[in-house]
């Protein structure tokens, strides 16, 4: 058997209102039925009981009229007047007959028939006595008429009157009985209607409570879940307790939460760098999942391009760039930004490589005048310092080549081996030149002394030979130093 909450809302509302309508119909039906009963009883009182009382009164009044007129006939002397009174008796008897006929028609009960039979018997006997009295009165036999009146007619009429009174009392009792029935029916109907009305109120309140709770409780839970979702909390549990429209809504809402939760977890994995996540769209209209799939696809392509650029950079292929046309929107801007970054990095590196290549070939370029930032500016400044140093070294070498051995050679740092070697070369050249000059002076002095005497010629020749040998040795040393300086200059050119 289905629970109330498993029924469709329309069915529940229909059942609830159906029960209430049924109770209202029952209440109205019972009320109308009992009102009809009361109306029937009141109508019987008005159209039957009251009419029977009226007929009984009319019959009794007719009998009383006959009795009174009969006495008048006995007392009157005028025959014409007596005939007028006879007409009254005849009219009264017509009224009596009509009343009795009506009573017989209206009263079908056994007791009523018995009462009418008793009345008719009494009135028939009294009527016979009355007729004799009237005949004696019309015959002007007053004494006999009075005697018969007092002896028979009056007692029989009184007996008939008693029968009428008894019948009238019976009719009044019947009216009272019918009234009691109507009053009892009213009280009974009132109790039943109040009871059914109270039951209807209680049932209506219960139905309203159950219907409201079966709808508002899951709706309230959905509202709380929606509030949590609006705050970004996807850890929401939706419990489906029914199979009605609200239950179906809860199921759909739960599946929506599950979909959002799966997408959120996928986004969390993507945010952590896990691009191996697989996202499946629930339908062609699942925009969220399809968007996440596009995001993951774009990120994978970005990572692929970045890896390709990294591998190309490691391989020295600095001209490799990412294909920005494969992307759209912000992803395209990212690739363009990476390409622009590579251009900004590789441009100064190409300039530096060109300058180093020129320096390696002995070409001393001009200063780098482009504007760079950060480390690239430091590289530019260092290259410009190197160019200045090469210019100074070249100028010093030119001075030395021109015979200026007193040129100032300054070491740029304690690790400046080139300037140290160049300074050592200058010092060696200075020593060689000094030795050569000293030898030349000795040769000149020897030549002068050779002209002074032959004795000293031999000695002078010997000294000259020794000086020449020493000069030769000095020249060999100077040649070695010059060769060393040439090697150092070659190394400087290579640097």
Domain boundary among 223, 258, 285: 223
Residue with tokens 């008005």: 46
Domain boundary among 160, 195, 223: 223
Residue 367 counted as domain residue: no
Q: What is the pLDDT of residues 437-492, one digit of tens each?
A: 676 677 566 656 655 644 554 455 455 545 445 544 654 565 565 556 545 544 54
- Residues near 184 by beta carbon (within 8 Å), at least 6 away in sequence: none
Its sign, for the CA torsion 371, 372, 377, 379, is negative
Q: What is the pLDDT of residues 131-159, one digit of tens each?
A: 888 888 888 888 888 888 888 888 888 88
Q: What is the pLDDT of residues 218-275, one digit of tens each?
A: 778 778 878 887 887 777 777 777 777 777 777 777 777 777 777 777 777 778 877 7
With a pLDDT cut of 70, the percent of the chain lying above it is 81
Domain that holds residue 158: 4-223
pLDDT of residue 493: 42
Residue 385 counted as domain residue: yes
pLDDT of residue 450: 55
Q: How many helices (H) and strands (E) does the chain have?
A: 12, 0
pLDDT of residue 428: 75
> DSSP string covering 406-464, please?
T-----SSTT-HHHHHHHHHHHHHHHHHHHHHHHHHHHHHHHHHHTT-SHHHHHHHHHH
Residue with tokens 């498993």: 6
- To the nearest 10 degrees (0 to 180), the angle between helices 50-75 and 154-230 is 160
Residue 154 counted as domain residue: yes
Between 81 and 213, the higher pLDDT residue: 81
Residue 452 counted as domain residue: yes
Q: What is the pLDDT of residues 176-191, one digit of tens each?
A: 887 888 788 888 888 8
What average pLDDT does the segment 195-201 reach?
A: 87
Domain boundary among 168, 200, 223: 223
Taking alpha carbons only, the member of 346, 357, 300 closest to residue 321 is: 346
Residue 244 counted as domain residue: no
- Degrees, nearest 5: CA angle 131-137-140: 145
Q: What is the pLDDT of residues 325-379, one digit of tens each?
A: 777 777 777 877 877 777 777 777 777 778 787 787 778 888 888 777 787 788 8
- Rounded CA-CA distance 376/378 in Å is 5
- Rounded CA-CA distance 489/495 in Å is 10
Alpha helix ranges (H) inside 321-416? 329-360, 374-401
Residue with tokens 């622009």: 340
Residue 300 counted as domain residue: no
35-54 burial: b if 16+ Cβ within 10 Å, else e: eebbeebeebbeebbebbbe
Q: What is the pLDDT of residues 411-433, one digit of tens each?
A: 777 777 767 777 777 777 777 76
Residue 334 counted as domain residue: no
Please give the distance of CA 377 from its chain centroid, rounded to a whole number.
57
- Rounded CA-CA distance 277/283 in Å is 19
What average pLDDT does the segment 283-312 reach?
A: 78
Q: Assess whether pLDDT exceeds 80 at residue 130.
A: yes
Q: How many domains does the chain have?
A: 2
pLDDT of residue 157: 82
Residue 22 counted as domain residue: yes
């Amino acid at each position: 058997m289905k629970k109330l909450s498993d029924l469709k809302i329309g069915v529940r509302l229909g059942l609830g209102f159906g029960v209430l309508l049924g109770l209202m119909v029952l209440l109205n039906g019972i009320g109308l039925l009992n009102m009809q009963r009361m109306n029937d009883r009141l109508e019987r009182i008005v159209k039957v009981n009251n009419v029977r009382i009226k007929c009984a009164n009319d019959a009794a009044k007719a009998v009383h009229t006959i009795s009174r007129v009969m006495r008048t006939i006995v007392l009157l002397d005028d025959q014409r007047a007596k005939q007028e009174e006879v007409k009254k008796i005849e009219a009264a008897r017509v009224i009596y007959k009509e009343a009795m006929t009506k009573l017989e028609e209206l009263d079908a009960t056994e007791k009523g028939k018995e009462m009418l039979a008793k009345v008719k018997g009494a009135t028939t006997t009294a009527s016979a006595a009355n007729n004799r009295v009237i005949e004696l009165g019309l015959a002007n036999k007053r004494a006999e008429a009075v005697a018969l009146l007092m002896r028979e007619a009056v007692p029989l009429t009184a007996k008939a009157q008693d029968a009428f009174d008894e019948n009238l009392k019976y009719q009044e009792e019947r009216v009272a009985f019918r009234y009691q029935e109507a009053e009892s029916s009213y009280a009974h109907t009132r109790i039943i209607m109040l009871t059914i009305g109270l039951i209807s109120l209680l049932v209506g309140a219960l139905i309203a409570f159950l219907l409201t709770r079966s709808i508002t409780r899951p709706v309230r839970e959905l509202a709380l879940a929606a509030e949590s979702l609006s705050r970004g909390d996807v850890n929401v549990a939706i419990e489906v307790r029914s199979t009605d429209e609200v239950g179906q809504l809860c199921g759909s809402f739960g599946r929506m939460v599950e979909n959002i939760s799966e997408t959120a977890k996928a986004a969390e994995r993507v945010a952590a760098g896990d691009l191996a996540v697989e996202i499946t769209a629930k339908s062609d209209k699942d925009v969220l999942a399809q968007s996440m799939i596009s995001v993951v696809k774009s990120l994978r392509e970005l990572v692929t391009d970045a890896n390709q650029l990294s591998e190309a950079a490691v391989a020295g292929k600095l001209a490799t760039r990412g294909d920005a046309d494969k992307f759209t929107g912000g992803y395209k801007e990212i690739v363009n930004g990476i390409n622009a970054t590579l251009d900004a990095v590789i441009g100064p590196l190409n300039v530096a490589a060109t300058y180093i290549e020129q320096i390696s070939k002995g070409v001393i370029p001009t200063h780098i005048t482009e504007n760079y930032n950060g480390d690239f500016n430091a590289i530019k400044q260092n290259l410009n310092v190197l160019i200045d140093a090469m210019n100074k070294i070249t100028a010093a070498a030119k001075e030395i080549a021109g015979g200026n051995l007193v040129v100032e050679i300054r070491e740029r740092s304690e690790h400046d081996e080139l300037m140290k070697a160049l300074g050592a070369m200058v010092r060696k050249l200075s020593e060689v030149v000094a030795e050569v000059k000293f030898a030349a002076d000795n040769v000149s002095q020897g030549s002068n002394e050779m002209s002074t005497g032959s004795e000293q010629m031999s000695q002078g020749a010997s000294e000259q030979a020794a000086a020449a040998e020493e000069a030769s040795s000095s020249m060999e040393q100077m040649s070695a130093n010059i060769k060393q300086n040439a090697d150092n200059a070659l190394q400087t050119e290579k640097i």
